[in-house]
Structure 1
Amino acid sequence: MFAAVVFTLAAASMASAHFALDYPTWRADTLENTSYSQWEYPCGGVPYGVGNRTDWAIGGGSLSLDLHHPWSYLYVNLGLGENVTNFNVSLTPSLTNVTGNGTFCIPQLLIPVSISDGQSATIQVVTSGASGAAMYNCADITFRYDAQLLSGDDCTNSTGVSAAIVDQSPTTSQSASTPTPTGSAAGAVNTGGVALLGALSFAGASMMGLVL
């Protein structure tokens, strides 16, 4: 009985330290499905071909997360093509620090490269908390001219959830802020602050010192 209680509490603690990718639809529910582990690079252990593709706006679409940490560092990367393993297009400009538990929604993540209608890609979302270890989820998408952004009612933050861009110069050491990836291909993850070359649009909010 005691062992069962301990296991239940441990499982609840692990789940609370993870995050969900609500939009675009993730490959699989890595919170409920114990076959997968969010600690595993590059997509939480979920192989390509599991789940559906989401049509995503060709100029950049919305992103909605359910965060379970008191605070999280957030990185969003993009891999072009099908069954990609190289997420070399970064969609977040330097380090993003999200404070608070609950829903965090970005109205539009701008795409810094040329995209064609119908092109397949995969979005990789990486978070890290107090432990410094990285957690991963992925969503497979198809870029479409007619795909819509989430509406204002569908893209709101939970009470107390805010975000700020952490400014980092190229001379700043990355060792303290870069999460530690796990898995056989961990070295390929694109998480360093100065390596994040994308653009982030928060419905007119200021990029630096951003509060949603």
Structure 2
Amino acid sequence: MTSLDIFLLLAFLSSLVSAHFSLQYPPARGDSFLPPASQWVYPCANINTTENRTAYPTDSFAIGVELHHNWTYMFVNLGLGTNGSSNLNISLTPSPLNVTGKGSLCLKELDIPADLRVENGLNATIQVVTVGESGSALYNCADITFSTNTTALNISAPDSENCPNTDAIRVEELTTATATSSTTNTTSSASASSSSSGERRARASLSAGVILLGALGISSLLIV
């Protein structure tokens, strides 16, 4: 293999890594960068066996990821049971998150739905999904066991060693907007410009939601 071939191969592999993301905490089910694993494969990057579980609090907790895109849409699902990845129907982010910036992101204090009974010792699977500008979804999963032990709460705390934050990253909930227009004959040019801008934002937000629904194929995603 020539030096040029090696350079091209390294550049190609680097581009693959930069187009993906890492689930840092809780530790991912496996290395989704190594074949036959692939983050393109639903639901857990083609990693179907569980070799490690992390003790996690029973009410709210944080999740740490490492992002390589300048921006991405992200949301988190939960599946209960030892084989939780077969039933990831509980959304911990009812509205998708619009994330801008690269680096470490700690999703702080994701709440378990109030009507969901989570008991000490219950196994579950966390699924983190990102969608970039191509509209394609990437998946990573982590397996956990809910625990009432205070140690689980401490190691899962936001901004701990397990869940650092890069200051430049910004996170906003993605929602649809309703554009309104004036019915009076005295609408100023500034008002007209604002209405037009609102309509564009509404269409963009709605289109993003449709892309997410179509690309991910997950019925638990809600856009409010």
When normalised by structure 2's length, the TM-score is 0.76
Gap change, CA 1:15 and 1:179, over 3 Å in 2: farther
Paired residues for 1:119-130 under 5 Å = 119-130=122-133
Task: Give RMSD over aligned pairs.
Answer: 2.2
Out of 5-14 and 151-160, give the one that drifted further. Answer: 151-160
Q: Which amino acid counterpart does residue 194 of structure 1 have in structure 2?
A: I
Cα distance in 1 between the residues matched to 2:220 and 2:100: 19
Task: Give CA deviations for 1:36-63 in whole Å, capped at 9, x if unaligned.
Answer: 10000000111122x3100000002210
- How many correspondences in the alignment? 187
- Kept in 2, the 8 Å contact 1:128–1:179? The answer is no
Match of 1:150 in 2: 157
**Does the residue aligned with 1:74 lie in a helix, a strand or coil?**
strand
The aligned counterpart of 2:12 is 10
Q: Distance in 1 between matches of 2:72 and 2:81?
A: 28
CA gap of 1:127–1:191, structure 2 versus 1, over 3 A, is farther
Q: Which amino acid counterpart does residue 169 of structure 2 have in structure 1?
A: V
Write the distance in 1 (CA, Å) between the matches of 2:211 and 2:22: 25
Q: Deviations over 1:50-82 (max 9, x none)?
A: x31000000022100001110010010000001
**Residues in 2 aligned to 1:9 and 1:145: alpha-carbon distance in whole angstroms:** 46
Secondary structure (helix, strand or coil) at the match of 1:75 reads strand
1:177 and 1:151 map into 2 onto residues whose CA distance is: 27
The structure with the largest alpha-carbon Rg is 2
**Residues 97 and 53 (structure 1), Cα distance of their counterparts in 2 relative to 1, 3 Å cut:** same
Indicate if the aligned counterparts of 1:57 and 1:145 stay in contact, CA closer than 8 A. Answer: yes
- For 2:70, the equivalent position in structure 1 comes to 70
Opposite residue 166 of structure 2, the aligned amino acid is S
Whole-Å separation in 2 of the counterparts to 1:179 and 1:9:
31
Between the aligned partners of 1:161 and 1:194, the Cα distance in structure 2 is: 22
* Aligned counterpart, 1:164: 172
Percent identity between the two aligned chains? 39
d(CA) in 1 for partners of 2:177, 2:160: 36
Which residue in 2 is equivalent to 1:34? 35
Determine if contact 1:168/1:193 at 8 Å carries over to the other structure.
no
Q: Which residue of 1 aligns with 2:110?
A: 109
Q: What is the CA-CA distance between 1:6 and the residue it aligns to?
A: 1.9
Task: Work out whether residues 30 and 44 of structure 1, in 8 Å CA contact, stay in contact via their aligned partners in 2.
Answer: yes
User: In structure 2, how many angstroms separate the alpha carbons of the residues matched to 1:58 and 1:177?
Assistant: 29
Aligned equivalent of 1:180, options 190, 205, 215: 215
- CA-to-partner distance for each residue in 1:132-188, whole Å, 9 max, x for gaps? 10000000000001121325343332131110011237995632344624xxxxx4x
User: Counting helix residues as a fraction of each chain, which structure ranks higher?
Assistant: 2
Given that 1:67 and 1:103 are in contact with CA atoms closer than 8 Å, whether structure 2 keeps it comes out as yes
The answer on whether the counterparts of 1:74 and 1:97 sit within 8 Å (CA) in structure 2 is yes
Gaps of 5+ in 1: 182-186, 196-212
- Aligned residue type for 2:210: S
The AA in structure 1 aligned to 2:165 is N
Alpha-carbon separation, structure 2, partners of 1:128 and 1:102: 16
